[in-house]
Amino acid sequence: MSKVTGYLRQVKGLSMAGRTSSNHWVMIDGPEEFYGSNAAIRPKELLLLSLAGCTGSDVVAILQKKRAKVEAFEMNIEAEQTEEHPKIYKTINLEFVVYGRDIKEKDVARAIELSETKYCGVTAMLKGNVEINTTFKIVDTTETGLINQ
């Protein structure tokens, strides 16, 4: 079993700076009405990006291994949380958007499935506690080239 360590330091109020074993810093904060400075991402929002980053990087890597002609990749994330405390995510919807030429639907579907069931540790930790729904869209750039967004 490998160990990951972390460090969190208060900057001011609820503004915090944290880093883990990879030695990269991230800022988190809270809203002004709860003693924060509204200067950085909220901890639960960071969880959403962690999920998307984990599964998204799996999908891109798997598609690259399949030699898919992926020109760009993005994800849309939407979550619903409870109204009562602790306010937790009940559902998270992830839409994978793959831009490229001759991308096969079955390859994208399989890449998402492998991420969900085998590779993404964030999905594995959330599964059973949060309903995670996934969809995908392929944008064929054969005629138009990559669309800058």
What's the pTM? 0.91
What pLDDT is stored for residue 149 in this prediction?
46
Number of domains in the chain: 2
**For the packed helices 43-65 and 105-114, what is the interaxial angle rounded to 10 degrees?**
130
Say if residue 35 is in the same domain as residue 58: no
What pLDDT is stored for residue 68 in this prediction?
96
Q: Identify the domain containing residue 20 by its residue range.
A: 1-41
What pLDDT is stored for residue 83 in this prediction?
96
Residue with tokens 């900057």: 11
Which CATH number belongs to the domain containing residue 130 in this structure?
Answer: 3.30.300.20
Q: What is the DSSP letter of 67?
A: T
Q: With contact defined as beta carbons under 8 Å apart, do 112 and 136 qualify?
A: yes
What pLDDT is stored for residue 144 in this prediction?
78
Say if residue 58 is in the same domain as residue 37: no
Say if residue 13 is in the same domain as residue 76: no
Say if residue 31 is in the same domain as residue 71: no
What pLDDT is stored for residue 8 in this prediction?
97
Say if residue 18 is in the same domain as residue 52: no
Residue type, 85: H
147 inside domain: no
What pLDDT is stored for residue 147 in this prediction?
54
How far is Cα 102 from Cα 16, in angstroms, rounded to an integer? 45
What pLDDT is stored for residue 67 in this prediction?
96
Low-confidence ranges of the chain (pLDDT < 70): 145-149
